[in-house]
Structure 1
């Protein structure tokens, strides 16, 4: 199950590994993504802290870690084709995989219905 932050990141937990990226709504707001500053494999991140950035033709945006843990893998495809985020923000355009250190943090994230409601109320 995918869960979301109010800062427009998503996480999908599989065992102790969370695949994370930015939401489809976020990529729509950014416009054409031209560069992704991927986090370093092995880096420890804390939930709610900036762990990378995404640049578009409009602006650059920080990406916040939805959960705490260690970066186990990054989506290397984004180095040569950052537009994958525009094509599939919540699929092939994932940014990193994090080995979760505190699974309870995942429970604090918004489910799809709550996230969609938040986005609608923010417009």
Structure 2
């Protein structure tokens, strides 16, 4: 039993003993109340502990529902082809240019490569 459980049992015991000594309830009723209190204390405590978890799950469900309520993005009427859709992709090479060092200098190419090739990427960004 946890500390709060002892407080509840002590409160119920004090109340029932006081009512019994006052003559408001009989001894069998007092014993019955104490037994019911002890038997129901653990399930009620567990229910109280689970209330926080239930609230967290309810909040998560609300966030998922809000996400599902967002309308989808529109789709194009026909898909764009990868090779013919980008002029840089059609004219560029797929390998990165060699790096120049101080000992071996090469002349610059006649046409400047696309920016993604100058950065050393192996493929076009599209």
Q: Normalized against structure 1, the TM-score is what?
A: 0.21
Greater helix share, structure number = 2
Greater relative contact order (CA < 8 Å, ≥ 6 in sequence)? 1
Greater strand share, structure number = 1
Q: Normalized against structure 2, the TM-score is what?
A: 0.21
Give the number of the structure whose alpha-carbon radius of gyration is greater. Answer: 2
